[in-house]
C-alpha cells in the first residue's frame, strides 16, 4: 500500500483542525470583548437592562425537550448509533477498505470474476441456440 496518500490526508486533516481551532478561538475572543464592552456601556448609561422573555409551561426553556425536535429518548440513541455507523463507513471508504468475501483475500480479482461471468454467458447463449427450433 502506498503511504503517501494516507500521509497527505492526515496532514490535511491536521491543518483543517488547526485552522478551525484558531477560528473558534478568535471568534470566542471577539464575543467576549463585545460582551464586556456592552456591559460597560450599559453600566455607564444608567438605563435598566432588558431581560429575555419568560417561558411558560412544562419545560419552558426546552419546548421540545433538551435534545430539540424529536431527537431525545430512544430515537436520539438510534440517531446517535446511525451517525456513528455512517462515520465509520466514511472512514473505511476513505482509507480504501472493502468488504471481504470468503477467506482473507475477499472474492478474488475483479477481472477474473468478469471473465468467468463472460464465459458463463457465452455457454448459456450457446445452450439456448441448440434448444431453439430452427423454424420458429
pLDDT in tens, 8-30: 989 999 999 999 999 999 999 99
Sign of torsion over alpha carbons 89, 90, 92, 97: positive
pLDDT in tens, 88-98: 888 887 877 66
C-beta atoms surrounding 78 within 10 Å: 11
Tell how far CA 48 is from the center of its chain: 46
Q: What pLDDT does 31 receive?
A: 93
Domain limits, the chain: 1-43, 67-96
- Which three cell numbers, joined as nine digits, stand for 124? 448459456
pLDDT at 86 over 70: yes
Per the CB < 8 A criterion, the answer to whether 94 and 9 are in contact is: yes
C-beta atoms surrounding 93 within 10 Å: 10
The pLDDT-based confidence of 129 (bands split at 50, 70, 90) is low
Strands, E, within the chain: which ranges?
A: none
Amino acid at each position: 500500500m502506498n503511504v503517501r496518500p494516507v500521509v497527505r490526508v492526515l496532514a490535511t486533516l491536521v491543518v483543517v483542525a488547526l485552522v478551525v481551532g484558531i477560528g473558534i478561538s478568535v471568534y470566542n475572543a471577539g464575543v467576549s470583548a463585545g460582551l464586556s464592552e456592552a456591559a460597560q456601556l450599559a453600566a455607564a448609561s444608567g438605563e435598566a437592562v432588558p431581560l429575555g422573555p419568560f417561558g411558560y409551561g412544562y419545560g419552558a426553556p426546552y419546548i421540545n425537550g433538551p435534545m430539540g425536535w424529536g431527537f431525545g429518548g430512544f430515537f436520539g440513541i438510534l440517531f446517535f448509533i446511525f451517525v456513528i455507523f455512517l462515520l465509520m463507513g466514511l472512514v473505511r471508504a476513505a482509507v480504501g477498505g472493502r468488504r471481504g468475501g470468503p477467506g482473507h483475500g475477499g472474492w478474488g480479482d475483479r477481472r477474473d470474476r468478469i471473465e468467468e461471468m463472460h464465459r458463463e454467458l457465452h455457454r448459456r447463449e450457446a445452450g439456448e441456440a441448440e434448444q431453439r427450433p430452427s423454424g420458429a
